[in-house]
Structure 1
Amino acid sequence: MRILLSNDDGVHSPGLRALYEELEGLGELDVVAPDRDHSGASNALTLNRPLTVENHSNGFRSVDGTPTDCVHLAVNGLFDHPFDRVVSGINTHANLGDDIIYSGTVAAALEGRHLGLPAIAVSLVNEGHFHYQTAGRVVRMLLECTTPLALGPRSILNVNVPDVPWEDLAGFRVTRLGHRERAEGAVPVTCPRGKQRYWIGAAGKGGDAGPGTDFHAVREGFVSITPVHTDMTRHEALPDLETWVDGLAEDGGPRQ
């Protein structure tokens, strides 16, 4: 098995190193990650300039671009061989609920999905203990599982791991995405030149965080495993929207 590893915290992230060390021996590993922290980059591709790839002494490669750039380049140009899996992480903090909209960690896994590869995004629900090895061991167990798993097209697994030793994990739970409350307000600061600047405020608390959600699972000490797909169509809204659009024609709009 040949596995591509990436992340959004950067090529020097301790989570990426821990993931690599935990998966050593499982297959052939290649690492392509951003040259710096790109948290919050989501699925951005760099299209306004060429990208630079740097080879590091430990065998890792870095790209002066986004997590999506890294996976895209790795699969479409940097290597002659195909990959069997894409794993993105271990993210330094949780990616729960609405976090995945902004997450570069999830975006890197999704880019692997775009390219027809089974992909996993893994994050540590960090409480300051930094049990990256626990999260790495979770990923290895998922990759070693011999039972076939069919998620369907355009799908990945979003995995969040409590920040505890392996023996303290309560188990595994299949979950849905919860939802956060509104983010905290932007924080104004003044730069040395006297100009007003703003820090983006902290993420909101879990508003929809009850049983069955990823928030609830990790709070109870379980690894949360959520299937995520990118068909953003609101299918149940289609009939009402059809009726509404038909009404536009009755109000003088163009008719078919």
Structure 2
Amino acid sequence: MKFPSTLLTTLISLSTLPQTLAFPTTTDLTTLTPRSNPGDSRSNPIKGQIEIRGSDALTYDVDCWAMLCKGKSPVMQKVDTDAADKNRQVDSGSAANKQPFKDPSKYGIKALPATNAWGNNKGWVSAEEFPFASTMEGGRDAILVGVTLDAQNEQKTSLRSFYQTNKIKSYDAKTKKSDGTWFEITGFKVKAGKTASIGPYCKAFNDNKKKGDLCKSTTNVAGDWGFDVAQYAYVYNHSTKKFDYVGK
């Protein structure tokens, strides 16, 4: 069969096209698709458990209650110390640095129960805040509950260990680089060699986040510290410049 000269020319041209114009193979598509490493985005965070050391069980029970009952997310993005300090301030942050639980009557909030042996009788005077001040989600609208200074200091150690163990980086505000900065708390466990006791809200968080009746106002959930952290929770109101009661 003879082909018209114009058709023959076209067929010859197509047969000599470079292979690069062919449809990409599966390998080509895989190569071209950007890969996201754990921690680079909210949808792909670094996942890990926090190890409780002792009295930090109180601070983390505040956090577990906030996640279980108040819809606070276990997924957060770590920030540097400068941003964390701003998150604790009054103007744009949680106002935790006012330390309202040291003088509750001054700020119109109810006093926490009397100190006990578990807290070394030192008083519930330090403001635990969640989301953490060390995260992008911290600061404004963070929930505050009074805890002991010992519990707060111990939490600094365990939280720092959590960040270091999981190689969680701080968001770079200058370069906008967020690689390795996102994380998700998947649960809480006692650090090896410690005799700490996980609080009731964190136990529920560990149990596949089954809160049951824990969040109901009629349910009292007291840990070893002797009170239900939810009954002493506040959020700073920037409009009224007062602490609003959250409660259960």
**TM-score normalised to structure 2 length:** 0.22
TM-score (norm 1): 0.21
Comparing both structures, which one devotes a greater share of its residues to strand?
A: 1
Choose 1 or 2 for highest CA Rg.
2
